[in-house]
């Protein structure tokens, strides 16, 4: 396992440049993980950092850094959806910058007992907090249609219905309890071609997202960040797969008014709210070839960033909300 002192987050330098950390500023690291972003922000004299992580193992491991910083670092076990509430309670509003590093950390993947990876035998768990429904609960209890929806919409798995059907058939004989058992079934019913990613990759991603409600947490966190950032405050988000990036991209597109022109509105139609963010430069920012070579997990990373304006926060629109949730099967039924 990589220690907090040596862990270097993907796109760290790009994220720090986009944050523009300044002396004495107040910053929020929404995903403490191994502490890489937090340490880099604290390297600026007199900065204060509020760091969140829903994984209590990461929070516990960060305790020595909290002590070392003598009041400049506040570390809290919390989800993205709690960011606004906690920041206001801890006197971090308005914030000068907020950074999100989305997804599962290398440390979580590398610990077989957490059940995030199909490459090592472990319990079919995937809970970041160690509480609530596990991946095994979903796999063994959800109906076939729900399982197929999870695999298709959260994992973009084309063989979702075939895999869901096989899961329901096999679990009636023996419930799924381990990562290897589920990965083995997927390999059997939806084998990949040579050179492709492992056949279980997308299904495991989908289950992890469902277990941890990751997309809705991300969207709620972005809304909280919009409310917390002061004028000129920076929002920086690093994502690792297309579903996350789509939410961030659409959120910033709506908030920055990209694509809005007067000619696109009907006569008498209400004008959109003033942009709450400004997006500058070419985006997304992606890893260099050197970073990808050093860390293969970096290959899919994308960084998007924006600067807060003086405009009020926007309400949550239906289009954005739909991106974070499974489709409603009952919609349109009599």
170 three-class SS: helix
Instruction: Give the pLDDT score at 1.
Output: 34
Q: Are 225 and 308 in a shared domain?
A: yes
Question: Has residue 163 been placed in a domain?
Answer: yes
Q: Are 131 and 206 in a shared domain?
A: yes
Could you report the per-residue pLDDT of 224-239, keeping only the tens digit for each? 999 999 999 999 999 9
CA distance 61 to 35: 9
- Which residues contact residue 293 at a Cβ distance below 8 angstroms, ignoring those fewer than 6 apart? none
Question: Has residue 218 been placed in a domain?
Answer: yes
Question: Has residue 329 been placed in a domain?
Answer: no
CA 330-331-334 angle, to 5 degrees, is 75
CA distance 300 to 312: 33
Q: Are 242 and 94 in a shared domain?
A: yes
Question: Has residue 7 been placed in a domain?
Answer: no
101 three-class SS: strand
Whole-model pTM?
Answer: 0.90
CATH code of 319's domain: 3.40.50.150
Question: Which helix (H) or strand (E) segment is 293 a member of?
Answer: helix 289-294
Give me the domain span that covers residue 48: 12-105+214-261+270-323
CATH code of 175's domain: 1.10.150.170
Q: Name which of 23, 28, 18, 5 is nearest 221 in CA terms.
A: 28
DSSP assignment, residue 23? T
Q: Are 229 and 174 in a shared domain?
A: no
Question: Has residue 133 been placed in a domain?
Answer: yes
Could you report the per-residue pLDDT of 266-310, keeping only the tens digit for each? 676 777 899 999 999 999 999 999 888 888 778 889 999 999 999
| Mean pLDDT within 80-88 | 98
Domain boundary (212, 244, 279) is at: 212
CA 135-136-140 angle, to 5 degrees, is 120
Q: Are 278 and 161 in a shared domain?
A: no
């Amino acid at each position: 396992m990589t220690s907090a002192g040596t862990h270097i987050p993907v796109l760290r330098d790009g994220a720090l440049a986009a944050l523009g950390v300044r002396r004495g500023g107040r910053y929020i690291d929404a995903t403490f993980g191994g502490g890489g972003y937090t340490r880099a922000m604290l390297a600026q004299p007199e900065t204060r950092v509020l760091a969140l992580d829903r994984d209590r193992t990461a929070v516990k491991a960060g305790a020595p850094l909290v002590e070392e910083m003598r009041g400049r670092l506040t570390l809290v076990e919390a989800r993205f959806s709690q960011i606004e509430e906690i920041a206001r309670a801890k006197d971090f509003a308005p914030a000068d910058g907020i950074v999100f590093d989305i997804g599962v950390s290398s440390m979580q993947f590398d610990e077989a007992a957490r059940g995030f990876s199909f490459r090592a035998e472990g319990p079919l768990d995937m809970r970041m907090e160690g509480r609530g429904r596990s991946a095994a609960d979903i796999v063994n209890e959800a109906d076939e249609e729900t399982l197929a929806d999870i695999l298709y919409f959260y994992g973009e798995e084309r063989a979702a219905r075939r895999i869901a059907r096989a899961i329901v058939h096999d679990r009636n004989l023996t419930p799924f309890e381990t990562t290897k058992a589920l990965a083995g079934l997927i390999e059997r019913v939806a084998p990949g071609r040579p050179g492709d990613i492992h056949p279980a990759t997308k299904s495991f991603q989908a289950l992890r997202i469902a277990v941890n409600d990751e997309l809705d947490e991300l969207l709620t966190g972005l809304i909280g960040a919009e409310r917390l950032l002061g004028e000129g405050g920076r929002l920086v988000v690093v994502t690792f797969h297309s579903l996350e990036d789509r939410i961030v991209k659409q959120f910033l597109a709506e908030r920055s008014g990209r694509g809005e022109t007067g000619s696109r509105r009907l006569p008498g139609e209400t004008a959109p709210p003033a942009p709450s963010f400004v997006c500058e430069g070419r985006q997304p920012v992606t890893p260099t070839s050197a970073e990808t070579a050093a860390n293969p997990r970096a290959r899919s990373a994308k960084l998007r960033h924006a600067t807060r304006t003086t405009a009020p926060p926007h309400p949550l629109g239906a289009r954005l909300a739909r991106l974070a949730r499974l489709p409603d099967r009952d919609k349109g039924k009599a």
